[in-house]
Amino acid sequence: MPSWLKVVLIVGGLLLLLLVASAGVVVYLAMKHGPALVEAGKHSLEEGNAYGRGTDEEGCVNEAASRHGRAEGLTSIIGTNLFLRSCLEASRPTPNFCDSVPHRIEFMKSARWQLDECKRHGLSPERQCGQLFQQVQQYCEMAARKGGGGFAIPEDKTDEDSAAPAPPPVAPPRPK
Q: What are phi and psi of 162, to 5 degrees?
A: -95, 5
Task: Look at residue 168 in the predicted model and tell me its pLDDT.
Answer: 60
Task: Look at residue 151 in the predicted model and tell me its pLDDT.
Answer: 47
Give me the residue spans of the domains in the chain. Answer: 35-146
Q: What are phi and psi of 31, to 5 degrees?
A: -70, -35
Would you say 51 and 63 are in contact if contact means Cβ atoms under 8 Å apart? yes
Question: Distance between CA atoms of 91 and 87, rounded to whole angstroms?
Answer: 6
Task: Look at residue 95 in the predicted model and tell me its pLDDT.
Answer: 94
Consecutive 10-residue averages of pLDDT for the chain (176 residues): 90 93 86 79 92 96 94 87 95 94 93 94 85 94 72 42 56 63
Task: Look at residue 114 in the predicted model and tell me its pLDDT.
Answer: 94
Task: Look at residue 119 in the predicted model and tell me its pLDDT.
Answer: 93
Q: What are phi and psi of 91, to 5 degrees?
A: -85, 170
Question: Distance between CA atoms of 43 and 41, rounded to whole angstroms?
Answer: 5
Task: Look at residue 174 in the predicted model and tell me its pLDDT.
Answer: 65
